[in-house]
A and B are shown apart, each in its own frame.
Chain A
Amino acid sequence: MRKPDLSIEFCGVRFPNPFVLAAAPPTDSAEMIARGFDAGWGGAVVKTLGLEHVEVNLVSPMMAGLAYEDKNLIGLENIDLISNRHLPEVLQEVSELKKRYQEQVLIVSMMAGTEDEWKEITRRVQEAGADMIECSFSCPHGMPERGMGSAVGQDAALTYERAKWVVEAASVPVLIKLTPNVTDIRPIAQKVKEAGAAGITCINTLKGLLGFDLDTFAPIPDVGGKSTAGGYSGPAIKPIALRFVSDVAKDVGIPVAGVGGVVTWRDAAEFLLAGAGIVQVCTAVMRYGYDIVEELIEGLGYYLEEKGLGTPADLVGRGLPNVVSHEALSRDYKVVASIDGDLCVGCGACIVACRDGGHQAIEFPEDAAGTGNERIPGVDEEKCIGCGFCRTVCPVTGCILMKERESEA
């Protein structure tokens, strides 16, 4: 219907929009990527490739979802490996895709072992026509046991060394995809910067164990009675991803491709505010199809228009100055819970939450019999410390507000 200009420059490359398919099953063949581009994605990271001699021996099943109440996929766990496709074949497809789609950005993800191998795959990927390269130092399962994937990204020295090999061999911008399975990503990201890479992609999946089957005692996904910790992705990991993106963008100062849990344009806008220059998506695409990019594009476009902002670049990093240390937070700013009696449906969930999870500050009124307000809770402002938990359990948007207290000056 309408086409807002969402184009953005990232690491010197112009993307028609900041929405990019992450390295994962949706980018495992040219046919799939082409459908993604046709749907409107601004770029794609081809699923991680290895050299011919690297054996990729997949297991099945390799995925399971975390169901929570009425949602059957708030998080996805996978023990997939890098692409099991033959390198020359995929590189041939990359060349053909590049001929067909000039505007969209094609990034190729890759993984290797030795210096020679890294340099060889870099050269071959580039020759195929990749616009950018993404090195996976981050797969948390399978590959680390062989000294690759997150085994690299968890070690600042290894990260520096391998990043440098690729940068030396590359003539296109290099992204290093880092793992969140570290205590502090910043020293590692710093090394990526020193090695001369153009940017960092974060995060890859979080290492997790999805659950157990209570009849067979087998972990999930159950591979013939056994399983292993895998990579956790999807909406559940968004807050963690935002944290890593903002850490890198703020404290290291290198371009970031944000990824982890993006579903809606709002999520994407938040990544931009946290400092991401482009936003990658995997699980949501697997779940809902390539078409959801239509909602990302339109939604972000309408938002920018409404805010009077020009392009997505105007959002990048705009939230970072407001991310500060705990120490730096104001102690003068105090809020108190306030319940809107007109909106309240009278469930009393806030009472339970405050009683057992807070400070016993909310109760049904004692003297309201016969007024019709019997089930509209009241807040004892003396007891309320303004923690905000009641608001999170209220089923009605806007019913509980945290109002600023008059300062006691």
Chain B
Amino acid sequence: MSDRTAGSGALVEFDRTYAPHEAVLEASRCLMCEDPPCNRGCPAGVDARRFIRKIRFGNFLGASRLVREANLLVGVCGRLCPQEILCMEHCTRAELDTPIDIAGLQRFAGDVELGTLAPLPEVADERSQRVAVLGSGPGGLAAAVELRKAGYQVDVLERSGTPGGLLTRGVPPFRLERSFAESELEYAKRLGANVLPGRGDEDPARLLRSGYDAVLVAVGLWKPYTIGLPGEDLEGVHVAGDILAVVADGGRPDLGRRVVVIGGGNVAIDAATTALRLGAERVDLCCLESHDEMPAFRSEIETAQAEGVEFHTRTIPVAITGEGGKVVGYEGIGIRWKEPGLLVPSNAERIPGTEFRLGADAVIEAIGQGVADRYEGVETDERGLVAAEPETMATSRAGVFACGDVTSGGATVVQAVAEGKRAAEGIDRYLRSLGDSASGGGDGR
């Protein structure tokens, strides 16, 4: 179904969605399993069997609304979820032939109400308690929606001028049309979540003191790691996040003809395929891991391969070389793991004689992001990730909760949504335990 053509220069390529009769046909392949295994595969708790049944029996609006109840990011997840390792991995139909295309059907469901104003779920009686959500990515938005449904007054404080987190400032537009994230953001706003862009300097403790009853930290990972290579300060060396943010915003930075990407995760893959679309003639991707060890989704790796990205797996960077202050090349060397299974640079043993050089006009580092801020009284682990109790997402500080990449260290949209929902429940339980002050009035928002 996907129709991507690399090198075409197109930064927006649409995946075709099912026509209604095609969706019904695909849905009618569903075995409508008792105790369906697909459902256990969804972190956000989408009832796959049920929404597929709705499509099968022509209740398209019902399908759209059911999925949105469980996961406001219907359209986003229909496009970005690695469903082959989630719901679809468990599909019984695979025993007969191929699994149901749950991703495609969810995309169809999400599109049913695209461009229209999806009706809002019921909001419980308004409550006067106020919750501040830091960050408007998938985690923050999912929590904001659930908190609104429960009647709380919600302010979403977002550092950037463009809300949406990585959905609007990370994932390349050829994988996710921006309109999805925007319409799903709009839904949260219509439900009464007060999204305030440009508010990045808030501290949870201060917010609690200034009248909020609870704070959710959903700030993601926005501090790019760099390797510290010789030549890193040359012109033409970038971190992936910067390039992707510019591209997501409609920019088309010129990276030159030859681009080297360092990293083996989804961000590296996106940087590589984005570079191709920005006009690079050759893109090399160098990573520590072997093909099978790469943390990127299989489908994304395959796409990048099909588009012609050259992989240099099980290699470690040595230096970036330059001339006149500009990047001209990249040097790496092959490695083996000293101790199997521990995929970190310190465990890499260089293999003499495997040195290689690549010409490069640009080098993009995509080796991960870390937490940008620390918060008073909120415990973190050695990497700076906020420690949260898995059931309630409560942190070490009373009244402060956390969810999404800032606790997981970088996972998926759907996991951030799932944690956001759990955090909202945790907050609800916490606020109720403080004494019920459902006022019926709120402050009128």
Which A residues are within 8 Å of any B CB, using their own CB?
A: 1-2, 263-266, 288-289, 291-292, 294-296, 298-299, 302, 397
Contact status A265-B66, CB under 8 Å: no
Q: Which of B19, B53, B65 contacts A1 (CB 8 A)?
A: B65
A1 adjacent to B57 (CB under 8 Å): no
Is there an interface contact between B62 and A263, defined as CB atoms closer than 8 Å? Answer: no
Given the known inter-chain contacts A1-B121, A292-B53, A397-B20, please indicate yes or no for A299 contacting B58, CB distance below 8 A.
yes
A302 and B62 alpha carbons, distance in the complex (Å) = 8
Contact with A along B52-74 (1 / 0, CB 8 A): 01100111011001100100000
Residue in contact with A295 in the complex, picked from B59, B119, B121, CB distance below 8 Å:
B59
Using A288-B32, A397-B21 as known contacts, say yes or no to A1 and B66 having CB atoms under 8 A apart.
Answer: yes
Q: Among B53, B58, B119, point to the contact of A265 (Cβ < 8 A).
A: B58
**Is the pair A1, B59 in contact by a Cβ cutoff of 8 Å?**
no
What does DSSP make chain A's interface, helix, strand, loop or mixed? helix
For A305, give the chain B residue with the smallest CB separation: B61
**A296 cross-chain contacts in B, Cβ below 8 A:** 57
**Bound complex: CA of A289 vs CA of B32, how far in Å?**
10
**Of A2, A289, A298, which contacts B59 at CB under 8 A?**
A298
Smallest CB separation, B379 vs chain A (Å): 39
Q: Is the CB of B21 within 8 A of A302?
A: no
Chain A residue nearest to B19 (CB atoms) is: A397
Shortest Cβ distance from residue A97 to the other chain B in the assembled complex, whole angstroms: 25
Given contacts A1-B66, A288-B32, contact A265 B20 (CB under 8 A): no
B62–A295 touching, CB < 8 Å: yes
Give every chain A residue within 8 A of B59 (Cβ-Cβ).
264-265, 295, 298-299, 302
Instruction: A1-B121, A2-B119 given; name 11 further pairs at CB < 8 Å.
Output: A1-B66, A2-B65, A263-B57, A265-B58, A288-B53, A295-B57, A295-B62, A302-B59, A397-B19, A397-B20, A397-B21
Min distance, Cβ A368 to any Cβ of chain B, angstroms: 24
* A264 with B58: CB separation less than 8 A: yes
Encoded as 1 (CB less than 8 Å from any A CB) or 0, chain B from 94 to 125 comes to: 00000000000000000000000001010000
Chain A minimum-CB-distance residue to B21: A397
A298 partner residues in chain B, CB cutoff 8 A: 54, 59, 61-62
Instruction: Sample 26 A-B pairs with CB under 8 A, ordered by A number.
Output: A1-B65, A1-B66, A1-B69, A1-B121, A2-B65, A2-B119, A264-B58, A265-B57, A265-B58, A265-B59, A266-B58, A288-B32, A288-B53, A289-B32, A291-B53, A292-B53, A292-B57, A294-B62, A295-B54, A295-B57, A298-B54, A298-B61, A299-B57, A302-B61, A302-B62, A397-B19
B66: A residues at CB distance < 8 A: 1
- Which residues of chain A are within 8 angstroms of B62 by Cβ–Cβ distance? 1, 294-295, 298-299, 302
Contacts of B57 in A (CB 8 A): 263-265, 292, 295-296, 299
Chain A residues with CB under 8 Å of B58's CB are 264-266, 295, 299
Interface string of B1-33 (1 = CB under 8 A from A): 000000000000000000111000000000010
Task: Please report the C-alpha to C-alpha distance between residue A336 and residue B132 in the assembled complex, in whole angstroms.
Answer: 63
Contact A295 B65, beta carbon cutoff 8 Å? no
Closest Cβ of chain B: how far from A106's Cβ, in Å? 26
> Using Cβ atoms and an 8 Å threshold, which residues of chain B touch A1?
62, 65-66, 69, 121
Q: Which of B186-213 contact A (CB under 8 A)?
A: none
Least CB distance from A220 to B in Å reads 24
A397 to B119 Cα, complex, angstroms: 28
Q: Could you say which of B20, B61, B65 has the most chain A C-beta atoms within 10 Å of its C-beta?
A: B61
A2 vs B20: C-alpha distance when bound (angstroms): 23
- Report whether A295 and B19 are in contact in the complex, using a CB–CB cutoff of 8 Å: no
A294 to B55 alpha-carbon distance, docked (Å) = 12
The winner among B19, B32, B59, B121 for most chain A CB atoms within 10 A is B59
Give the CA-CA distance A302 to B113 in the complex, in Å: 13
Minimum Cβ distance to chain A for residue B45 (Å):
15
Q: How far is the CB of A395 from chain B (nearest CB, A)?
A: 9
Complex CA gap A30/B121 in Å reads: 35
Instruction: For B21, list chain A residues within 8 Å (CB).
Output: 397
Which residue in chain A gives the minimum CB-CB distance to B54? A295
Q: How far is the CA of A266 from the CA of B21 in the complex (A)?
A: 14
Q: Which residues of A contact B19 (CB under 8 A)?
A: 397
In the assembly, what is the distance between CA of A288 and CA of B119, in Å? 29
Closest A residue to B22 using CB positions: A397
Q: Closest chain B residue to A395 by CB distance?
A: B21
Alpha-carbon distance between A1 and B57 when the two chains are bound, in angstroms: 18
Q: Which 9 A-B pairs have the closest CB atoms?
A: A295-B57, A299-B59, A298-B62, A295-B59, A264-B57, A397-B21, A302-B61, A264-B58, A298-B59
**Distance from A400 Cβ to chain B, minimum over Cβ atoms (Å):** 14
Q: Which residues of A contact B121 (CB under 8 A)?
A: 1
Minimal Cβ-Cβ distance residue in A for B121: A1
Residue ID in chain A nearest B66 by CB atoms: A1
Most chain B beta-carbon contacts within 10 A, residue among A264, A266, A292, A295: A295
Cα(A263)–Cα(B59), bound, Å: 12
User: Please, what's the 1-or-0 string for B132-156, where 1 marks a CB less than 8 Å from any CB in chain A?
Assistant: 0000000000000000000000000
Closest B residue to A300 using CB positions: B59
Complex Cα spacing A288 to B34, Å? 10
Q: Considering the chains assembled together, what is the distance between the CA atoms of A292 and B32 in angstroms? A: 11
Assembly CA distance A306 to B153 (angstroms): 33
Q: How far is the CA of A114 from the CA of B136 in the complex (A)?
A: 75
Task: Give complex CA distance A1, B63 in Å.
Answer: 11
In the bound complex, residues from chain B placing their C-beta under 8 Å from that of A397 are: 19-21
Closest chain B residue, CB of each to CB of A263: B57
Min CB–CB distance A257 → chain B (angstroms)? 21
Distance to closest chain B CB from A281 (angstroms):
12
- Please, how many angstroms separate the alpha-carbon atoms of A149 and B19 in the complex? 45
- Residues of B within 8 Å of A291, CB to CB, are 53
Q: Which residues of B contact A264 (CB under 8 A)?
A: 57-59
Chain A residues, CB < 8 A from B32:
288-289
Task: Looking at the assembled complex, report how far the CB atom of B60 sits from the nearest CB atom of chain A, in whole angstroms.
Answer: 9
Task: For A397, give the chain B residue with the smallest CB separation.
Answer: B21
- Closest B residue to A398 by beta carbon equals B19
- Give the residues in chain B near A299, CB-CB below 8 Å: 57-59, 62
Query: Bound complex: CA of A213 vs CA of B21, how far in Å?
Result: 34
A282 to B36, CA, bound (A): 24
Which positions 35-88 of chain B face chain A at CB distance < 8 Å? 53-54, 57-59, 61-62, 65-66, 69
A265: chain B residues at CB < 8 Å are 57-59
What's the nearest-Cβ distance from chain B to residue A269, in Å? 10
